[in-house]
Amino acid sequence: MHAEGDAFIADTAYDADHIRSDVRKLGMKPVIHSHPGRKRRLPLGRPLYRLECCFHDLKRFRAVATHYDKTATCYLAVLHVAAMLLWLH
């Protein structure tokens, strides 16, 4: 695993004991929502997990998820529009 930072933020698909232990070995805090099949729910850092939820909401917009835009400026504009629509909702 190649990652840097204070925390490893991921969705439920990355909830595995070996991933969590690898993250801890790198000196990071795993912020991963527990898989529904787990018998015991693991603690979750809510403020950091909100960031993962924000990315999930942005990826619901097809243009954001598929990167159709040719330039970084156009893609940033699409991100701004998607963020505004989420904020207004």
For residue 58 the two structure tokens come to 């942005």
What burial letters (b/e) apply to 32-60, b meaning 16+ CB within 10 Å? bbeeeeeeeeeeeeeeebeebeeeeebee
Question: What percent helix, strand, coil does the chain show, rounded to 5?
Answer: 55, 10, 35
> Does the pTM exceed 0.95?
no
37-47 pLDDT, tens per residue?
A: 888 888 777 77
Paired strand residues for 29:
7
* Spatial distance between the Cα atoms of 79 and 65, rounded to a whole number of angstroms: 10
Outline where 16-71 has alpha helix (H).
Answer: 17-25, 46-59, 62-66
13-68 pLDDT, tens per residue?
A: 888 889 989 999 999 988 888 888 888 888 777 778 787 778 888 888 888 888 77
